[in-house]
Structures are given as structure tokens and as C-alpha cells.
Amino acid sequence: MASQQIQIERPLYEHEVLRREYNYKKSKKLNCENSSCSCNPAALKKVVKSTIPILDWLPKYKWKQEFLKDVIAGITVAVMHIPQGIAYGILGNLPPIVGIYTAFFPVLIYFLFGTSRHISMGTFAVVCLMTGKAVVHYSDRPVFNHLDIGADSLNSSMAEAVGVSYTPIQVATAVTFCVGAFQLLFCVFRLGFVAALLSDTLVSGFTTASAVLVLTSQVKEVLGLKLPVHKGYFEFIETYRNIFNQIGDTNLVVLLISVITIIINVINNEIIKPKFAKVSSFPIPIEIILIIFGSAASYFWNFHEAYNVSIISTIPTGLPEPVLPTMSLIGSVLVESFTICIVGYSVSISMGLIFAQKMNYDIDANQELLALGAGNVFGSFFSCMPFAASLSRSSIQFSVGGKTQITSVVSCGVLLIILFFIGPYFATLPRCVLASIIIVALKGMLMQVKDFFKFIKLSKFDGAVWLVTFLTTIIVGIDLGLLFGVITSLMSLMIMEFKPYVCLLGNIPHTDLYLDINKYNSAKEIPGLKLFHYNGGLNFALRNVFKSELFKLVKINTLKELTYRNNLKKIEELVEKFGKTDETKRKYDKILSKINKDLKVIILDFSSLSYIDPSGVSSLKTFADSFQKIDIPIYTAGLSEPNYEMMDKCGLFLQTEIRNFAKVHDAVLFAGEAFGLKSSGDIEKIFSAV
């Protein structure tokens, strides 16, 4: 297809002229008549609806079109909640019923305050693992073992009876309360952007490493081993060292049950489920089926007594009584809670954004902080772990047609039945069955290891962030892994910031296009003029980078140039006094050859200048004065309004002879007229508009 032509006729604009001609106005403070301040009833109603989103979307709910789909999705997700809740409760070193509580109480609060319509909130493997580490570190382990993580551990009075400080459930609820408090604090200060600190690269490396740690924590269950508890860092190494030392004590019955469970689960996921999905969107609930058969087989064949197979033991019925979290623990768990707060929020908001983009609606990052924070604080009174979004459940909820948060209410209704009537029937369930279900469920997260090769191809910095986060998380620990990942990400940003993209621009013949002369062979430099393009920030840290790159590309050193010109004047004065000699002629010619006679003007293309601070403006003043001394003016072009205002406030245009133009082409045309520049060759028409 032939290239379309564009022709524009307009005056040549300097920035200040552009402002005057097109009625530029500065931002004004909002008043009560046009703002959302609380004295405006309509605005107040809007604020209330934005704070409690259910008041906005529920009256608009399409009951006939969406309710049945939400009910089906809710039942499906509830079926997934049961095995995951029980398994992740144990993963958190807590009674298995805690996982069900976490899928019930906080989710009800998220239903009221959350803005995502499709994510499934509740237990999440990484968050449960992180909570479990805090539980192991701060709870009294002998009592924890004595209770066999059964229902009695919910009763803090037993802890007092045997003279211990904290039970596992007390530690977990303190962590949950603290996580919620952090999230609410972030919401108050509008810090929803903190998730941006966790890049996709960092999250991929962190969650992949966390999946490896979750897998490691379940190996002992699959083999039927009882390993010593390790508190502190390097748990990954210690765990496998203990496993290899005790490998001869493997319980073969437990191993057989685990292998059968894993094989059945894998066959369903890899073969049966894809074929069944073509017939029905309702997935086969293989996990709950395995739990039912595992519990029944363990009951009839008495696995626990006959083969020493660890089972869940007691599962209480009903809802727990609300209990105030142990406030004396808050100071101890602050670091762990802060890490869980960031991870839980980042994972949840990332999943929410994925589904929001697919279904073309918006979610509010700060409102999500409120929903998560309120849910965690509320859940901490009811024996819950911190909750977050689950990718596997969210994907199922979306695929079976869930439309709104009504899905969560339906799911909670089903779980309520489980809590009151069905829970005790799972008491004989072998723990190795749950461990096997967890291991198979980790496949998606473990396969993220492929992301490393994708990231390293795109950017060495991204590859380094992924690798540092992954290795530190696995080898040292989750909290330091996240910390080192954030530090590495920020360092990579700083390194890239200190390497701004700079180039000299040339004109594409017969157009107003100016492109990098090193990348476009058709771009021709204009004789007597240097077009310097700068892409990045200009602040106190980067001003020397800017200076060195400018001098390198323009191939001029103002100090040396000024020295040459002063020396030339001195020789000329000597010639006037004493006449021209061979020696003065030789020196004159030598100095003259070093002076840049061809450069008439420098234009700084700041169309890609991200920001500038007073230090950057000060450096521009220095450059302008230096070049003015050697009769080479500096023009700027393409400034954004914030950058222009900063330069104007700092007096750049008043205190120097820098002129600023709306576009690069305006500056080029003005320079051509002011200095009588004549283009040659392919660009003979560059100044035809002047």
C-alpha cells in the first residue's frame, strides 16, 4: 500500500508563545461546588459507595442472567476450598479446620468491600507457608506436637494448663491481625502502589521458589518421616539433610498411598480433565473425591493403628467463638506480618487485574487494601490465617462462568454446611493424601521456572532479579528472599536510570521527522547544528551523566574550546603589535585547527525527558553559560508542561539565553533562519518553510 501523505501548515512556536496563543491555564484548587468534598451530598454518597462497593453493584445485579451462573461457580469453588483449606491449614502448622475458617470469615468481609468480581479469596499456599514458619518460630512446639494439630489447639486454656507461652493458633491469629493492620494502614495513606515494587519478574521468582519450599515441606509427609523442627534460615538445606539421614525409616504404606494419590490426580489433570472440559465446564472434583476415599479407606482398614499412618485426627464442628488476638505477640511478628502483607496483597491485586482486563472493568488498588485489611482483622478474631487470592480457584471460578462476588457468598454457604455437619467425617484422612494433593497443585507454580529463560532473553537485569530472588528464597529464607528481590529490582532500576538513552538526531529528507543517525541510514545531520536527544531523568545524580554524554556526542569540550579561543586572541594581539612571524603563524594555524568552526547551535531534544529537578536546571544554566562564552547557543525543544514549569520557576529562561520551542522542527527552522544555515544534498528543502 502506498504511503499516505500528511501536510501541516502552522506558525513556528516557542513554548511561551504557544501558551499565550492557546490559553494555557494553571491548575486551580478544587472547591466544594465541583469537588468530592464531604459537604456535597452527592459526593458523599459517591464516597460511601466507593468505600462499600456492594452498595453500588448489588442494586444493579442481573438476577435472572447471572445468579444461576454464580451459584454453580460458588458450589464448584466451595468443593475446591475443602481439600485446599484442610491441606493448607496443615501447611500453616495449624489445625486443618483453620483453613476452612480462612475460606469463610474473611471472604464474607471481602464480599462487602472488594472490587474484583472473579478472584477466589481464601487460603493461598505461599501465604500459608509463611504463616507456618512464624507459627513454628513463636509457638511452643512440644504442646503443638502433643495436640497433634487437632482441635484442642484452638483452646488457649490448655496452653496455660501446661505452662506454655503461646499456642500455634495464638501466633497465627496475631500474624493475621498484624497483616490486616498493615493493609489498613497502607489504605489510609493511599499506598496501593506498593505492589509496583514487586515486578512480574520478582513475583515469578519468589512464587516459584516458594512453591519449591512448599513441596519440600510436604516430602516428609509423603515419606511418612518425622523430622526435627528447624527454626531460622537455611531450612531448605537442613530439611533435605534430615530426609537423607532418615530415608531408611520411610513408611512404605504412607509412600504407597501418596504415590497412588499423586498418580490418580495427575491422570485426572493431564488426561481426563481436558477431555471432560469439552463436554462440561463443571470440573471433576478429584481432590474431594480423593479425600472421601482416603478417609473411608483409612477408617475401614485402620491405617493409623495398623500401619502407623498419620491422620488428621479431630475436626471440630460449628463456628469458633470470637477471641481477641494475643496482643503481646504483635511486636514479635511485625517483620513476618509485613512480608505476608506485601505478598498477599501483591498476588491478589495481580490476579484481580488479570481478570479485570479480560472482562473490561476496573478495580481499585486502595479499596483492595481496605477489603484485605478488614478481612484479615475480622478473621483474626475467628482463628483464621491471613487470606489472599488463589490462582487455581480463581481460574476455575472464571471458567465455570462466575460473574460477581455472589459466588463467594454461595461458596461460604456450602462451607458453613461443612463446618456444622460434615467436617468430623474427615478425621481419619491420612495426612499424606493432603500432602499429595498439595504437591500436584503446585505444578503451575513450579512450571514458572520457564519464566527465567524468558526474562533472561528479554533483559539481563530481569534475569538477575529472578535468579537472585529464587535462590535467596530457597536457600536462605522467604523473608530475606523477598527483601533481596526488592533490593535487586531497585538496583536494576537505578542502573538502568544511570544509562539513559542518548543519541544525535538527523532529519529524514523532505519531512519534519528527526531520527537516530546511528539507527537510520536515511537520517542526515544538518551542517552547523547538533540535535542531542536525551531519554531519561535529569537530576542531581544524573547531571554528570548528561554532561559527559552531551560532550561525547557533540564532540566538544567547552573549557578547552574557550582556552583555544583565548589563546587565539592573544596571538592575534601579538600579531597586531609585532607583526606576523613564522612562529606566530605556526601557532595560529595549530590553534585554529583545534577550534570547532562548524558548530553553530545545539538543540536539546527533551521530548523524552521524564523529569528534571532544580539541580538539573542548575546544570543546564552552567552548560548554557559555558557554550555562550564560545558563541554557541543552546535551544531546548519538546518539553512537557511539568518540566517546562520547573525550568521556568528556577529562572532558566530569564537567567540564560536558552530558547525553548514546542517541537524539534520549530527549533531547527528558527536556527536555520537565525544563523543562515544551508542544508545540502538530500536535505536541501529543510529550511524552505522559513
C-beta of residue 602 within 8 angstroms of C-beta of residue 636: no
Report if pTM > 0.75.
yes
Q: Quote the CA–CA distance of 68 and 85 in Å, as a whole number.
A: 25
Q: What local confidence, expressed as pLDDT, does residue 181 receive? A: 97
Q: What local confidence, expressed as pLDDT, does residue 307 receive? A: 92
Amino acid, res. 236: F
Q: Quote the CA–CA distance of 683 and 672 in Å, as a whole number.
A: 13
Q: Quote the CA–CA distance of 414 and 427 in Å, as a whole number.
A: 19
Burial class (CB in 10 A: 0-12, 13-18, 19+), 177: buried
Q: Quote the CA–CA distance of 572 and 585 in Å, as a whole number.
A: 10
Mean pLDDT per 10-residue run, the chain (690 residues)? 69 85 69 51 76 87 87 89 90 92 95 92 92 89 43 43 71 96 93 76 89 91 88 87 93 95 93 82 82 93 92 86 93 92 89 85 90 96 94 83 89 90 88 91 89 91 93 90 89 84 91 92 90 92 89 82 74 67 71 74 93 92 88 92 92 91 92 73 46
- Residue 532, strand partner residues: 504, 604
Rg (CA), the chain: 34
**Ramachandran angles phi, psi of 25, nearest 5°:** -135, 140
Taking CA 116 as the corner, what is the angle to CA 113 and CA 119, rounded to the nearest 5 degrees? Answer: 115
Q: Which residue segments constitute the domains of the chain, with CATH numbers given?
A: 81-449 (no CATH), 501-556+596-683 (3.30.750.24)
Residues 6+ apart with CB under 8 A from 174: 325, 326, 327, 329, 330, 332, 333, 380
C-alpha cell recorded at residue 250? 520411610
pLDDT digits (tens, 9 = 90+) for 383-408: 999 999 988 888 888 888 888 889 99
Q: Quote the CA–CA distance of 325 and 192 in Å, as a whole number.
A: 26
Residues 6+ apart with CB under 8 A from 657: 624, 628, 633
Q: Quote the CA–CA distance of 537 and 500 in Å, as a whole number.
A: 8
C-beta of residue 77 within 8 angstroms of C-beta of residue 401: no
C-beta of residue 111 within 8 angstroms of C-beta of residue 408: yes
Q: What local confidence, expressed as pLDDT, does residue 152 receive? A: 41
Q: What local confidence, expressed as pLDDT, does residue 494 receive? A: 82
* H-run or E-run covering 209: helix 200-223
Q: Quote the CA–CA distance of 366 and 191 in Å, as a whole number.
A: 7
